[in-house]
A and B are shown apart, each in its own frame.
Chain A
Amino acid sequence: MKSGKRIDVISEYQKRIAEKESLNLVVIGHVDAGKSTLMGHLLYLQGEVTEKTIRKHERDAQKIGKASFAFAWVLDETGEERARGITMDVGVTKFETEHRRFTLLDAPGHRDFIPNMISGTAQADVAILVVDATTGEFESGFDANGQTKEHALLARSLGVQQLVIAVNKLDVVNWSEARFLEIVQKLEQFLVKDASFKKSNLVFVPCSGFTGENLVRRSTPGNICNGSAVSDTSVPESVAAVLSTFSWYKGPTLIESIDKLDTPMRPIEKPFRMSVTDVFKSAGGVSVAGRLEAGHIQVGEAVMVMPGSEMAVVKSMEVNHEATRWAAAGDSVLLILSGIDILKVSNGSVLCTREAPIPVTTHFAAQIVVFDVKIPITVGFPVIVHRQSHNEPGVVSKLVATIDKVTGEIVKKSPRHLGKNTTAMVEIKLSGRAIPLEAYKDSKELGRVMLRKGGDTIAAGIVNKILSFGS
């Protein structure tokens, strides 16, 4: 490419963040907590979804007897998801608030789809944790088999530090302040003590995704917060009820709370890295969607696909569904690549440059924190290693040492097994293909792994050292 046409991405980037900073937001929580409905409604209130679309969803949903799912259908688009009424894959969309530009990732809550949830959360900077306030529902999501805790721990281990907790469906318990405070108290204890969130980074917001109360606005006598999915006749009554029973809450609305979230430092000066979450054929080339983990890229530049070291050229790109000429770390992008076969790129590939390739490995040393496991981890323990949207089977090949949580000193060398809540140095070998991976000190995003077995997350870890290169 001619040098005259090159864009100075760094100065462009400075201009863009001066205008409005962007954030990737993931919505997590137990299945049926109302994540999709909440976000679908929020998108509608923010004007991202037209009235017409909502009406159409409402009619169609009613036809199959799922009238209350109309808002969720904004994000749950496949036939399977709609018919079953649960989210299966991450829904990606965007919206803007006063000070922030958001890429929204709606994660599935069902435990079988945690790999997808990990994929979504790995792309996020901040999260909304949705909990169901209904009697019994909060408890079932919060106990050992629920996903509330697992999601929160995963989010924390994947680098999410700021969390907004949406205490949803509070309309069902008549906007009870006592119930809200009970949930806040239980969650706060867990999030601060076990999941190591900073108390100051947690915001609790009572709301209702179904009626739309306290998402964008509060209902006031002059300004009725209209839940459009509810038939018109019921509005006055419900609003009257809300006004009288919800007057105790003086805090911010959901949108106000997320508007205040801080943006993290983006590693824009580092070598270019993009993790691929989706690949499909499109007119004129191969479409590759994912998140820019580090560095920047512009149209016309060459990229290298790892594993495989195949070269391709960026033909065009989109950031948040808008065509642009450049993108920088933190952006959720869609690249159209030319000069490459679709079979050479897959979910889990990493794009980089020829000058600074990312290591590809099957054997690495990691420091892990063992979660609340039922059986201890031993040598030879088979696990599924998750790195962002990719997962590969592997084994824990060596237990190097257990280390003290606080001081970081070695407690015991070559332990026989690792029980719950221990921190340890281990070596992990992948049984199948090699995956692109970096040491945590080189890349915070590409140096994290999650270990799962039998449908449970057993440990979260960071990569200390790559022990073998190539496959």
Chain B
Amino acid sequence: MKLVKQHIEKDKSGYVTLVPEDFEDMWHVYNLIQKDDQLRAVTIRRIQSESSTGSVDSQRVKLTLSISVDNVDFDTQVGVLRISGRVIVENPYVKLGTFHTIDLEMNRSFTLIKPEWDVIALERVQEGCDVTKKADVAAVICQEGLANVCLLTSSMTLIRQHIDCPVPRKRRGSVANYEKGMKRFFEQIYQAILRHIDFEIVKCVILGSPGFVREQLYEYIFAEAVRTDNKTILQNRPKFIMVHTSTGHKQALQEVMNDPSIKNKLADTKAAQEVQALDQFYEMMNNDPDRAFYGFKDVSKAAERGAIGTLLVTDELFRAADVAKRRKYIALVEEARATGAKVFVFSSLHVSGENLNQLTGVAAILNFPLPDIDDEEEEEAADETLQDEDEAPQMHSNHAAEAFDAVLG
């Protein structure tokens, strides 16, 4: 992304002019634009004019419009960003206050005016414009009969194709069906690789799977490339890396990013750091539960006491349409930074971000234990229990003993 112009006043209001250049930039822009911001960009509008005789004439006019943002829509699969809102600057064609939807496109500049540019937004602009942080990696995560062809960038994981191709099992005396099924499965992956992976952009192609599927796939890809004389694949042979994962589902990407050989390739990209930070959080929760908290209430209590060592938040919280909520989280980030904490803003498009999102979206590793936070919570929980005792279903206790026996003993 290119930063064309930036002007921010002392009261933090101001504007920024940007040119998004690729898919990932669109994602950054999506995270920047909030409700009630003002956006100015070149757009096309269909203008209807009625002549004196009553015939209706419509024409498409290219013009520059300014709107006050109402709604932001982003399609992660195609990378189209649609922003709708009311027109706020008069124009020969369009009246004030009419609705318009601007489609932002790559390589077209736009200007974003915000009443308040906060830390998170400014960092986002900086990050989006930092060319050194780019690293595109393609990954094929598979298990027998199931494959995900994805592209990983520093802030996005995009599933390009999900392949579900049932492979018959081996049966006594006949393995022909199985072998045929596997061949068909690999063929589909091979085609997906040709279609979705641009070898001029990607640094490496990760083949990840449990068992030996990746090795079989690797062999298949190159046998097929030799057979069809596909030079691109053959020339890019060194880019293929095999990694062990425990499954072929998307979740396994987290394991991929934690693999030492991949960490080098992804170098300083955010994704790998995020995975590590989340792992550390879980580890801490296991070793010393009083030093790992999640949920806004607990984390902000810890922040008040300056205990936070590492703060994990997802970008989804800053995208909140609710301004108060957004402010609350920004204040939390600033508070944590002020006490010297490391802050990771997770991309919710990554698997690790999805995971953190499910975990209330905010978590913290503390520098020193705060056992009383948990106690306070227990008291609160106890109060709640008293309240909803009537409605608490008693379904478990009767079955519990019998059911438990079934689970384990």
Give Cα A395–Cα B179 distance, bound, in whole angstroms: 33
User: What is the minimal beta-carbon distance from A210 to any residue of chain B, in angstroms?
Assistant: 22
Partner of A157, one of B143, B283, B400, B408: B408
Give Cα A460–Cα B285 distance, bound, in whole angstroms: 21
Question: Are A367 and B285 within 8 A (Cβ)?
Answer: no
Question: Are A419 and B359 within 8 A (Cβ)?
Answer: no
Give Cα A222–Cα B173 distance, bound, in whole angstroms: 36
Question: Are A112 and B406 within 8 A (Cβ)?
Answer: no
Partner of B285, one of A89, A113, A382, A417: A417
Partner of A414, one of B250, B381, B399: B381
Question: Are B403 and A79 within 8 A (Cβ)?
Answer: no
Cβ contacts under 8 Å, B143 to chain A? 115
Give the bracket for the number of chain B residues in contact with chain A.
35 or more
Question: Are A460 and B407 within 8 A (Cβ)?
Answer: yes
Cβ contacts under 8 Å, A382 to chain B? 251, 254, 351, 354-355, 358
Give Cα A416–Cα B282 distance, bound, in whole angstroms: 12
Give Cα A391–Cα B247 distance, bound, in whole angstroms: 10
Question: Are B286 and A280 within 8 A (Cβ)?
Answer: no
Cβ contacts under 8 Å, B407 to chain A? 157, 367-369, 423, 460-462
Cβ contacts under 8 Å, B251 to chain A? 382, 384, 393, 453
User: What is the minimal beta-carbon distance from A223 to any residue of chain B, in angstroms?
Assistant: 30
Give Cα A393–Cα B172 distance, bound, in whole angstroms: 30
Question: Are B211 and A367 within 8 A (Cβ)?
Answer: no
Cβ contacts under 8 Å, A195 to chain B? 408-409
Q: Given the interface contacts A112-B210, A464-B396, does A416 sit within 8 Å of B170 by beta carbon?
A: no
Does B175 have its Cβ within 8 Å of any Cβ on chain A?
Answer: yes
Question: Are B211 and A376 within 8 A (Cβ)?
Answer: no
Give Cα A460–Cα B408 distance, bound, in whole angstroms: 8
Question: Are A425 and B396 within 8 A (Cβ)?
Answer: yes
Among residues of B, the one whose C-beta sits closest to the C-beta of A380 is B358
User: What is the minimal beta-carbon distance from A397 to any residue of chain B, in angstroms?
Assistant: 7
Question: Are A408 and B404 within 8 A (Cβ)?
Answer: yes
User: What is the minimal beta-carbon distance from B69 to any residue of chain A, in angstroms?
Assistant: 30
Does B357 have its Cβ within 8 Å of any Cβ on chain A?
Answer: yes
Does B306 have its Cβ within 8 Å of any Cβ on chain A?
Answer: no
Cβ contacts under 8 Å, B359 to chain A? 378-381
Partner of A367, one of B254, B354, B400, B409: B400
Question: Are A375 and B249 within 8 A (Cβ)?
Answer: no
Q: Given the interface contacts A378-B294, A393-B249, A413-B385, does A367 sit within 8 Å of B403 by beta carbon?
A: yes
Partner of B169, one of A278, A368, A412: A278
B-facing residues in A59-93 (Cβ within 8 Å):
77-81, 84, 88-93
A-B contact count (CB 8 A): 172
A-facing residues in B31-85 (Cβ within 8 Å):
none
Cβ contacts under 8 Å, B360 to chain A? 379-380
Question: Are A464 and B395 within 8 A (Cβ)?
Answer: yes
Per-residue CB proximity of B139-173 to A under 8 Å, as 1/0? Answer: 00001010000000000000000000010111111
Question: Are A196 and B357 within 8 A (Cβ)?
Answer: no
Does B313 have its Cβ within 8 Å of any Cβ on chain A?
Answer: no
B-facing residues in A257-292 (Cβ within 8 Å):
277-281, 289
Q: Given the interface contacts A78-B170, A279-B166, does A408 sit within 8 Å of B401 by beta carbon?
A: yes
Question: Are A376 and B168 within 8 A (Cβ)?
Answer: no
Cβ contacts under 8 Å, B145 to chain A? 347
Does B276 have its Cβ within 8 Å of any Cβ on chain A?
Answer: no
Q: Which of A80, A367, A397, A465 has the most CB of B within 10 A?
A: A80
Cβ contacts under 8 Å, B385 to chain A? 413
Give Cα A279–Cα B344 distance, bound, in whole angstroms: 46
Cβ contacts under 8 Å, A90 to chain B? 169
User: What is the minimal beta-carbon distance from B289 to any residue of chain A, in angstroms?
Assistant: 7
B-facing residues in A442-466 (Cβ within 8 Å):
444, 448, 452-456, 460-462, 464-465
Give Cα A11–Cα B244 distance, bound, in whole angstroms: 52
Cβ contacts under 8 Å, A380 to chain B? 355-360
User: What is the minimal beta-carbon distance from B305 to any residue of chain A, in angstroms?
Assistant: 18
Q: Given the interface contacts A409-B397, A419-B286, does A79 sit within 8 Å of B179 by beta carbon?
A: yes
Question: Are B171 and A289 within 8 A (Cβ)?
Answer: yes
Question: Are A408 and B177 within 8 A (Cβ)?
Answer: no
Give Cα A408–Cα B406 distance, bound, in whole angstroms: 13
User: What is the minimal beta-carbon distance from B133 to any residue of chain A, in angstroms?
Assistant: 26
Question: Are B172 and A93 within 8 A (Cβ)?
Answer: yes
Give Cα A381–Cα B285 distance, bound, in whole angstroms: 13
Q: Which of B357, B358, B377 has the most CB of A within 10 A?
A: B358
Q: Given the interface contacts A347-B166, A395-B358, does A112 sit within 8 Å of B282 by beta carbon?
A: no
Question: Are A423 and B404 within 8 A (Cβ)?
Answer: yes
User: What is the minimal beta-carbon distance from A275 to any residue of chain B, in angstroms?
Assistant: 14
Cβ contacts under 8 Å, A277 to chain B? 169
Q: Given the interface contacts A80-B212, A110-B211, does A378 sit within 8 Å of B246 by beta carbon?
A: no
Does B374 have its Cβ within 8 Å of any Cβ on chain A?
Answer: yes
Cβ contacts under 8 Å, B13 to chain A? none
Does B178 have its Cβ within 8 Å of any Cβ on chain A?
Answer: yes
Give Cα A374–Cα B280 distance, bound, in whole angstroms: 12
Among residues of A, the one whose C-beta sits closest to the C-beta of B244 is A112
Cβ contacts under 8 Å, B397 to chain A? 408-410
B-facing residues in A95-151 (Cβ within 8 Å):
110, 112-113, 115
B-facing residues in A391-441 (Cβ within 8 Å):
391, 393, 395, 397, 401, 403, 405, 407-410, 412-414, 416-417, 419, 423, 425, 440-441
Does A321 have its Cβ within 8 Å of any Cβ on chain B?
Answer: yes
Give Cα A321–Cα B172 distance, bound, in whole angstroms: 9
Does B255 have its Cβ within 8 Å of any Cβ on chain A?
Answer: yes
Per-residue CB proximity of B259-292 to A under 8 Å, as 1/0? Answer: 0000000000000000000010011011001000
Does B367 have its Cβ within 8 Å of any Cβ on chain A?
Answer: no
Does A346 have its Cβ within 8 Å of any Cβ on chain B?
Answer: yes
Cβ contacts under 8 Å, A378 to chain B? 282, 285, 294, 359
Cβ contacts under 8 Å, B358 to chain A? 379-382, 395, 397
Cβ contacts under 8 Å, B384 to chain A? 413
Does B107 have its Cβ within 8 Å of any Cβ on chain A?
Answer: no
Cβ contacts under 8 Å, B279 to chain A? 375
Does A159 have its Cβ within 8 Å of any Cβ on chain B?
Answer: yes
Give Cα A110–Cα B212 distance, bound, in whole angstroms: 11
Cβ contacts under 8 Å, A375 to chain B? 279, 282-283, 285-286
Give Cα A306–Cα B355 distance, bound, in whole angstroms: 30
Question: Are A92 and B406 within 8 A (Cβ)?
Answer: no
Cβ contacts under 8 Å, B247 to chain A? 115, 384, 391, 393, 452, 455
B-facing residues in A143-184 (Cβ within 8 Å):
153, 156-157, 159
Question: Are B166 and A112 within 8 A (Cβ)?
Answer: no
A-facing residues in B177-208 (Cβ within 8 Å):
177-179, 181
- Can you list 18 residue pairs at the A/B interface with Cβ under 8 Å? A81-B170, A89-B170, A279-B166, A279-B168, A280-B181, A347-B169, A368-B407, A375-B279, A378-B285, A380-B356, A380-B358, A381-B359, A384-B249, A391-B249, A440-B406, A448-B406, A456-B246, A461-B407
Interface residues of B, Cβ cutoff 8 Å to A: 143, 145, 166, 168-173, 175, 177-179, 181, 210-212, 216, 244, 246-247, 249-251, 254-255, 279, 282-283, 285-286, 289, 294, 351, 354-360, 374, 377, 381, 384-385, 395-397, 399-401, 403-404, 406-409
Interface residues of A, Cβ cutoff 8 Å to B: 77-81, 84, 88-93, 110, 112-113, 115, 153, 156-157, 159, 195-196, 277-281, 289, 321, 346-347, 367-369, 374-376, 378-382, 384, 391, 393, 395, 397, 401, 403, 405, 407-410, 412-414, 416-417, 419, 423, 425, 440-441, 444, 448, 452-456, 460-462, 464-465
Q: A195-B408, A408-B404 are in contact. List 6 more A-B contacts (CB 8 A).
A: A92-B171, A196-B409, A347-B169, A375-B283, A414-B381, A456-B246
